[in-house]
């Protein structure tokens, strides 16, 4: 990532008498803004339309109120909870000389009562309490999300769009097969190029042609399937074109993609996803890498009770799913690597439950190995690479 800071605490000294602190509870149509203003005893709470310009005017008005109260505001800090709106507001505020942060939603402590009061006003109070603790430097009071640049966000779009299209392709294929099954027809492959022509020759189990409405629905689904397939091919060819046109630099995302794609068993799609989703982020250490992918455990310990609840799943789901799939492929393509030998030793009992548990551990070790490969050049023992340029 382009930014580097400690997400668990602020490293900048907090001068309360000269700092205007604001938090925003965002929704699609309205924003609720709360603030702590130097020299003002009250803590204002203002509801606005979802408009960045109105927010900026409000902050400047509160700054003027502090000046009239005899306090000169030299720092304005804003924060809001990560969610649907993403990071555009934080980037816009930073461009207007306002310090902006995005709070990780799961790091805010809430009441564990079965039925608790929930309102935007209460949410802003929780945000303000968490944000002030973070500004004071209290470690792990809450966590901030690193704000990506627009270019970094845009680089993730092709991989995410392709993932959605592949899911849509699978849904269409299953829907076509389900409709045909209603008429006792099996063995039809909707992915074939001549599927539309073959559809005209199908007959039901009674030997009659397909009913008119069912035939029209299937034809529409096959046309939609062809469109989705063409869009997937376009995304893949465009990615290869960009990689070919990019300069052969020693650093940067394209260089990382080329390097990881040389690892036997890793394709361009997986390499591109890993680089743009996790490996270009400025993560602190191997624990942070594993935690971002949600591949760490969730222990539940209290008194004599000791149990493990499984994966935390608090990280990036795309990275987690891709790595577990890659770990299974690794067992086929990298049989002589130290990581695969480590896995074989611990699953020698042959039990499926052991293999399912250890494949997650292998995925975690694999992610750390790839992270070290692109950041420090450290090569895992026994790892096979394709020749350069292939």
The torsion angles phi and psi of 304, rounded to 5 degrees, stand at: -85, -10
Residue 153, number of CB atoms within 10 A of its CB: 15
Intervals of the chain under pLDDT 70:
1-6, 250, 389-390
Cα 379 off chain centre by: 27
Whole-number pLDDT of residue 4: 46
122 SS3 class? helix
DSSP 335: T
Which residue is it, tokens 């190029």?
193
26 burial level (CB within 10 Å; 0-12, 13-18, 19+): middle
Closest CA to 315 of 307, 303, 323: 323
* Tokens of residue 95, six digits: 């461009």
Q: Could you give the CA distance from residue 257 to residue 255 in angstroms, rounded to a whole number?
A: 5
Closest CA to 293 of 368, 359, 233, 237: 368
- Residues facing residue 184 across a β-bridge: none
Q: Could you give the CA distance from residue 79 to residue 149 in angstroms, rounded to a whole number?
A: 17
Whole-number pLDDT of residue 2: 42
Q: Could you give the CA distance from residue 277 to residue 255 in angstroms, rounded to a whole number?
A: 15
Whole-number pLDDT of residue 300: 83
- Residues facing residue 71 across a β-bridge: none
């Amino acid at each position: 990532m382009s930014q580097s800071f400690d997400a668990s605490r602020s490293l900048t000294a907090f001068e309360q008498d000269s700092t205007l602190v604001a938090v925003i509870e965002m929704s699609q149509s309205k924003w609720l803004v709360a603030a702590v203003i130097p020299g003002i005893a009250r803590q204002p709470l203002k509801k606005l339309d979802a408009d960045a310009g109105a927010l900026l005017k409000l902050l400047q008005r509160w700054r003027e109120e502090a000046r009239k109260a005899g306090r000169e505001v030299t720092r304005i800090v804003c924060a809001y909870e990560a969610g649907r709106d993403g990071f555009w507001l934080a980037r816009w505020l930073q461009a207007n000389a306002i310090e902006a942060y995005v709070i990780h939603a799961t790091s805010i402590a809430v009441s564990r009562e079965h039925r608790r009061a929930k309102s935007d006003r209460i949410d802003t109070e929780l945000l303000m309490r968490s944000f002030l603790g973070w500004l004071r430097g209290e470690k792990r009071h809450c966590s901030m999300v690193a704000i990506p640049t627009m270019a970094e966000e845009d680089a993730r779009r092709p991989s995410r769009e392709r993932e959605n299209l592949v899911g849509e392709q699978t849904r269409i294929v299953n829907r076509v097969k389900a409709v045909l099954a209603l008429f006792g027809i099996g063995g039809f492959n909707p992915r074939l190029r001549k599927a539309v022509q073959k559809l005209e020759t199908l007959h039901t189990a009674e030997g009659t042609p397909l009913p008119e409405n069912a035939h029209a629905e299937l034809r529409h689904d096959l046309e939609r399937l062809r469109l989705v397939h063409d869009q997937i091919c376009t995304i893949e060819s465009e990615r290869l074109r960009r990689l070919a046109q990019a300069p052969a630099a020693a650093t940067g995302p394209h260089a990382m993609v080329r390097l990881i794609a040389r690892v036997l068993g890793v394709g361009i799609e997986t390499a591109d996803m890993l680089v743009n989703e996790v490996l270009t982020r400025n993560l602190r250490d191997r624990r942070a890498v594993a935690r971002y992918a949600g591949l760490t455990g969730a222990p539940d310990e209290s008194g004599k009770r000791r149990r493990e609840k499984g994966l935390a799943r608090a990280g990036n789901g795309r990275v987690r799913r891709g790595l577990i799939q890659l770990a299974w492929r690794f067992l086929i393509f990298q049989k002589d690597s130290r990581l695969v030998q480590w896995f074989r030793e611990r699953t020698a009992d042959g039990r499926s439950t052991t293999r399912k548990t250890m494949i997650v551990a292998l995925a975690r070790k694999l992610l750390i190995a790839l992270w070290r490969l692109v950041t420090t050049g450290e090569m895992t023992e026994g790892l096979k690479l394709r020749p350069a340029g292939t």
